[in-house]
Every structure is written in structure tokens, then in C-alpha cells.
Amino acid sequence: MAESRLTTRGRTTVPGGVRKALGVKPGMRLVWHVMPDGKVLVRAKSKSLLELAGTVESPVQGVSIEDMKAWRRHRA
């Protein structure tokens, strides 16, 4: 079991074994969840949505302006 102490300023050090198990590095964010039964769940926030942008190729093909105009003419 890992243990740390809370300072008067609300800070603590995440024990080395916990950091290693979570794969966290300096500067990474931790997300804390307080469960209804009082237990605390901590997870490493790996990446933001902005960091993930562009990492997956979209299955949707582009549509030309002319194709959009044709759709509008048929709809009227």
C-alpha cells in the first residue's frame, strides 16, 4: 500500500510506485473522482481532445460546393 501526506496547502506527493503504475510523468494531469461510497478514483489524463485532433482519418469524404448547390436546387 502506498501512502503520502497532505500539506497544509493541500499538496501531496504521488508515491513512486503509483506514478509508475499510472505511467505519469512530470507535468501530466491527474483526474480525481470521489465516488458515492467515499472512495477516490484517480486516473492519469493522457491527452486532451485538441491533442487528439487529426490523429484519426475521417471516413467521410469531402463534398464540393457544386454538389451542395445541386442538393439545394433539388430540395426546393
- 32-59 pLDDT, tens per residue? 999 999 999 988 887 666 766 777 777 7
- 14-33 pLDDT, tens per residue? 999 998 988 888 888 888 99
Q: Are 32 and 10 contacting, i.e. CB atoms less than 8 angstroms apart?
A: no
Which backbone phi and psi does 41 adopt, to 5 degrees? -110, 125
Q: Are 45 and 29 contacting, i.e. CB atoms less than 8 angstroms apart?
A: yes
- pTM metric for this prediction: 0.52
Instruction: Output the pLDDT for position 71.
Output: 64
What structural domains does the chain harbor?
1-48 (2.10.260.10)
